[in-house]
């Protein structure tokens, strides 16, 4: 049985117990969230060595890191290094988006080595394999699509992104309304090209029950992809995006009724003042299923700094209801991320997630900040480093900039506010 089916039967699984401990809640509290579809516990029956973590309402905001090869950089070793760096930086999930090299071997090694949940986009590999076979990218068959999906599930992927909501009706809406950037989702563009080439409905939508049966067998969580997510601020919250979201809402209910865990993916590029509305719409239309957002990025003009634009949007999105943030690295829109880009992306997204958890009142969030405040007041530098979201960087900067001062930092030196006020706060007040 899937975690959802077990939860509905009143069974608290060992995975629920482990995930609940990380949240500081009881297994029964988590079971109830999973049973009503407000949380998911992605843990494929074939992913050995997984540290189960839950995603959803009332739980700490989770962070995902995308890694994976490309045509230009097909080697496995750098991606395994990125995996290690992301996990060390505190990431909760990895997505393997490989499109170059031995994709099967890369995916299996990432799943084998990852202690956190792993997601994939099976359609990417189906497209690559079709191209390698000397056929056009849109010449893959229905059976090849579903065979590719089952292979990823069999290999241990804990969740898979599937673009089931990109239908002929949604594409017609896009054609009628128009957009600045049309479709920027790689999976969304692939499936759209396939439909227009074959003049047929999306097989992932048309044969949704076939997909559910595969996910049910391996207890794979479906991540319903946002193929029409906006790729620039000008396209945010438009008709095609919302029409797809409505479709995804109906697919959420069908998945849950079948016993399959499901979450929904969201935008994208969204201006600050529209983020809260987007989160409320998604939660309402998709029956409070966990919501997984890419960013969102709050401006289009910051290549090289998009981990920052993403963190700004991610903090607002998560504090408004998003449950899962996909990191964005400084290399977004520019190229494949380096190992350092991966770390910067993870840390930026974790900062956004924690800022949102303070708003949500997640257990332990306020306590963490309070402990840091106390350590700062006491000028307890080792404790401040220990409590930092990136202790390695904080420790390195402290050492580099304060070699001659063991008590104060070089910003204030002998004019340190903490030290000055502590010297006088204990002095009795003698009146005016």
Instruction: Please state the residue numbers annotated as binding site for Zn(2+).
Output: 269, 333
Strands 39-40 and 55-56, by their bridges, are antiparallel
Token couple for 204 = 């992932």
Please, is 105 exposed, middle or buried when counting C-beta atoms within 10 Å of its C-beta (0-12, 13-18, 19+)? exposed
Residue ranges of the binding site for substrate:
66, 95, 124, 163, 185-187, 226-229, 265, 292
Q: How far is CA 291 from CA 222, 324, 349, in A?
A: 12, 6, 15
Binding residue positions: 66, 95, 124, 163, 185-187, 226-229, 265, 269, 292, 333, 409, 412, 416
Q: Where does 277-388 show beta strands of DSSP type E?
A: 291-294, 324-326
For residues 355 and 360, what is the distance between their CA atoms, to the nearest angstrom?
Answer: 9
The DSSP H or E segment spanning 94 is: strand 93-96
Alpha-carbon separation of residue 256 from 9, 29, 36, 78, 252 (angstroms):
14, 19, 9, 37, 6
Task: Enter the DSSP assignment of 221.
Answer: E
Backbone angles phi, psi at 32, to 5 degrees: -65, -40
Residue 228: left (phi > 0), alpha (psi -120 to 50), or beta? alpha
The set of residues, in sequence order, having a beta carbon less than 8 Å from that of 53 and lying 6+ positions away, is 19, 22, 41, 42, 62, 92, 93, 116, 117
């Amino acid at each position: 049985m899937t975690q959802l089916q077990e939860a509905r039967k009143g069974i608290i699984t060992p995975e629920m117990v482990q995930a609940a401990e990380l949240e500081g809640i009881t297994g029964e509290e988590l079971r109830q969230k999973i049973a009503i579809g407000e949380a998911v516990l992605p843990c494929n029956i074939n992913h050995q060595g997984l540290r189960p973590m839950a995603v959803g309402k009332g739980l700490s905001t989770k962070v995902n890191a995308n890694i994976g090869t490309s045509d230009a950089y097909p080697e496995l070793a750098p991606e395994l290094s990125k995996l290690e760096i992301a996990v060390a930086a505190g990431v909760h999930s990895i997505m393997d988006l490989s499109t170059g090299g031995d994709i099967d071997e890369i995916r299996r090694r990432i799943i084998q080595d990852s202690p956190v949940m792993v997601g994939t986009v099976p359609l990417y590999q189906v497209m690559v394999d079709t191209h390698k076979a000397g056929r056009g990218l849109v010449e893959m068959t229905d059976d090849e699509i579903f065979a590719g999906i089952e292979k990823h599930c069999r290999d241990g992927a804990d969740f898979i992104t599937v673009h089931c909501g990109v239908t002929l009706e949604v594409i017609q809406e896009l054609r009628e309304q128009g957009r600045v950037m049309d479709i920027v989702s790689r999976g969304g563009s692939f499936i759209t090209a396939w439909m227009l080439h074959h003049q047929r409905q999306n097989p992932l939508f048309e044969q949704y029950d076939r997909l559910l049966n595969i996910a049910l067998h391996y207890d794979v969580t479906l991540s319903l992809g946002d193929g029409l997510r906006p790729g620039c601020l000008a396209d945010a919250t438009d008709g095609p995006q919302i029409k797809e979201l409505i479709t995804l809402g109906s697919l959420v209910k069908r998945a849950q009724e079948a016993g399959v865990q499901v979450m929904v993916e969201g935008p994208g590029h969204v201006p600050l003042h529209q983020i809260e509305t987007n989160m409320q719409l998604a939660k309402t239309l998709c029956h409070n299923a966990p919501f997984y957002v890419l960013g969102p990025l709050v401006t289009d003009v910051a290549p090289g700094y998009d981990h920052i634009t993403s963190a700004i949007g991610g903090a607002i999105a998560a504090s408004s209801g998003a449950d899962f943030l996909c990191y964005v690295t400084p290399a977004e829109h520019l190229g494949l991320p380096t190992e350092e880009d991966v770390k910067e992306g993870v840390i930026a997204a974790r900062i956004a997630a924690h800022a949102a958890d303070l708003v949500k009142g997640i257990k332990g969030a306020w306590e963490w900040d309070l402990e840091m405040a106390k350590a700062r007041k006491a000028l307890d530098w080792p404790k401040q480093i220990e409590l930092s979201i990136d202790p390695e960087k904080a420790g390195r900067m402290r050492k580099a900039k304060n070699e001659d001062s063991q008590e104060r930092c070089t910003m204030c030196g002998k004019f340190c506010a903490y030290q000055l006020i502590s010297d006088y706060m204990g002095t009795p007040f003698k009146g005016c």
